[in-house]
Amino acid sequence: MTGLTARRLVAPETTALAAEIEFNGAAAVCDPFGALYLPDVRALVVSDLHLEKGAAFARRGQLLPPYDTLATLRLLDAVITRYDPAVVISLGDNFHDRRGSAELPDAFRRMIAAMAAGREWIWVNGNHDPDGVHDLPGISADELVYAGLTFRHEPTLRSSAGEVSGHLHPCATVRRREKAVRRPCFAIDGRRLIMPSFGVTTGGLDLRHKAFTGLFDRATLVAHLMGRDRIYSVKFSNLIG
């Protein structure tokens, strides 16, 4: 994805107002940090971490601030602390390129190992990291069917019932106090859910972008926008673009 979107870096102790929803018959919580929690099975879902993005750019001679992995892992640790899940599912593009996992610094490996201790951890493979992860807790899979839902990196047109995906980094724009405000969002029409990107230096696509064509029933589509400490739920018809 292109075009950086400003991200929230909220202190872990901040009280957050999440959005409780029902998705394809399952109870779910959209967290302002960009994670989805399924309380009935104690599963936490994140997508598009893009860990080691700065390192990937540096290998190509382009410099980004080298703090993206640490900031993203701190956010991940915060939501894991908040919900104490039994299962963590990361929906692909876990690393920004094929080398990121193998060359991850030991300090970050220890952070992930600490978060994964006592939990199941599933790394869904993405287009940036199709080969899975190297020497990290958990297992890698191209797709996961769990708790009546299907988890994959890229959304598909062939079936939408109970599909949870990432890849497109959805964003939406609303008008607030005479200003247009654009935020990452969970995009949900009751049958399909596309996750916001969790990585702190990732970009996004507006829900009106052609990449979303055919994926949602716009009559029932709701954008759950990520605010600094709460979720704002807005019908697609009330978005601007």
Residue 63 lies in a domain: yes
Residue 84 lies in a domain: yes
Q: What is the pLDDT of residue 237?
A: 96
Residue 9 lies in a domain: no
Q: What is the pLDDT of residue 8?
A: 38
Q: How many domains does the chain have?
A: 1
Instruction: Return averaged pLDDT per consecutive 10 residues of the chain, 241 residues in all.
Output: 33 65 94 97 97 80 80 97 98 93 95 98 96 95 96 90 96 89 95 96 94 96 94 96 77
Yes or no: say if 229 and 17 are a contact pair by the CB < 8 Å rule: yes
Classified as helix, coil or strand, 76 is helix
Q: Can you tell me the distance from the alpha carbon of 234 to that of 172, in angstroms, rounded to the nearest whole number?
A: 9
Residue 11 lies in a domain: no
Alpha helices in 42-183, H assignment, sequence order: 53-59, 68-83, 106-116
Residue 2 lies in a domain: no
Q: What is the pLDDT of residue 85?
A: 98
Residue 44 lies in a domain: yes
Yes or no: say if 140 and 123 are a contact pair by the CB < 8 Å rule: yes
Residues 6+ apart with CB under 8 A from 28: 20, 21, 22, 36, 37, 38, 39, 193
* Residue 23 exposed, middle or buried by CB count within 10 Å (0-12, 13-18, 19+): buried
* Residue 204 exposed, middle or buried by CB count within 10 Å (0-12, 13-18, 19+): buried
CATH of the domain at 222: 3.60.21
Domain span at residue 101 reads 19-238
Residue 6 lies in a domain: no
Residue 86 lies in a domain: yes
